[in-house]
Structure 1
């Protein structure tokens, strides 16, 4: 068995959770995890926290009796880190104090507004998360971590960090996968067969699709399914940079979902006018399949070899680049 270690980002309200953070960190270290996180946050530390979340394998939110320091938007830094982890689809474990009202007064929110935001956030976590573990004291917290983290690894396997001496085992696994890929390629060429049945489109034709998105308003969360209409030229402009240089096919979903994350707030506000954030945008799987096939059939992307992991790579064609240049020139003329 390959020996792995995992990075865990610890998210708390701040210094009021220092004692619990120490217990949590020690419990994680004893299980072989690396722990990250920030106790004191400012606008300057936000980017650093996001980089840590990007690189972590698991996200643990430790909630006591405070909502935490507020950002300029009125949302606490703890809440913002949680939203960011959700958008990055990180496996999330919530450790929640069973009775926050019983904590010492200095470990609770002191204003009515703070208490209201804390209560709303606590209820949001209970609604949204599948794994919410309550604790009463430090001993409970330590036992909860020791029990929950192995289950997290089992439910959400991650690449983690592997000791250099285990790379030979990985290479053997890679070689086996390469053999399986070669066998599958001999059986069929699915992409070419599917593309034959699809008519070509021009860049000005519209394509309608729907997608899922999590919308946040007044501390509450709701999953919506907005409709979006885009010209094929606009879709090409979104996806094109993702395949120049060549990239594996999973870039289709990654690039289009990132684009929807950045632009979905306008769609959401038609239904939730006070929405302040969106997360976890995910295009309809059938629409994504149609987009893939259409770009291939229009000769806008073509296969161009494999990477060192033997994934098939796709690349933007000169024809697609010419189409994009025409579209951009038309925008400038307007």
Structure 2
């Protein structure tokens, strides 16, 4: 029979939202049924009674630990530890996923009190007594969780759930229908999350906010003497992404992105350079435009923070150590909005301005 397994995902919540989303997505790709605190409905039962009931109904139990111990329950333990100990007590198959180096996490995602740090350390030691894996990034966690659960299912088969047309019991059939609706609702939520900016990105510089990009270029004057100039141009983040986005529609290497940014400052600074009296009679050498390393890295980090680009996950040869970048689903949506041609005059994005001649 074609079974689906219900998996309870336990962790602290606010500091591990992105990590939980990656694990939930990995579980859905394995045709599993995720369960966790964000899916609990309003009920007359007290919270801990409901949590124990859900864990008991699940086939497998996963715990994710980062830099926080978690919210404290009535017993003085965090709900995360209470859930883990309950899963141990009732004999659920368990996998633990511990952050490899929680001390490297931002301060806001770590315990601030000595008591909290001690309790977190004790929980990590407890988790390591069972099957345990380590992670450093949300993407790595999703991958590790997927592989680990596949192995656990093979070594420790559980009861699972089956389709209604395979069920012999009408009550079981009704429960499966409810769980299928849960999956559909969760898939919708995941899709919505992937088509919006990351939580907190609204406070970052973006859209029509400007960023000063420093760059160098060379010119040749009328006597064919060559000059080197240090320049800067103010560009909006929409202008930067308008130019760089198409390069990453499939994927682009670091070198490709750098070349595209060099081309952007060259084209976008034409009007500024054309008005500079010091450049009168000079011909810009087009291949010499080079953005500063600091500003190139800042542009990449900002686009990552805004949820527009991410490292490409395509499999490559072990000999290929280059870094490749690709648009996120959200980035693809933003780029389409920026570059799609609209009806009516004056609605296209402004193009680069013409200025003095440029040579090779």
| TM-score normalized by the length of structure 2 | 0.44
Structure with the greater alpha carbon radius of gyration: 2
| TM-score normalized by the length of structure 1 | 0.47
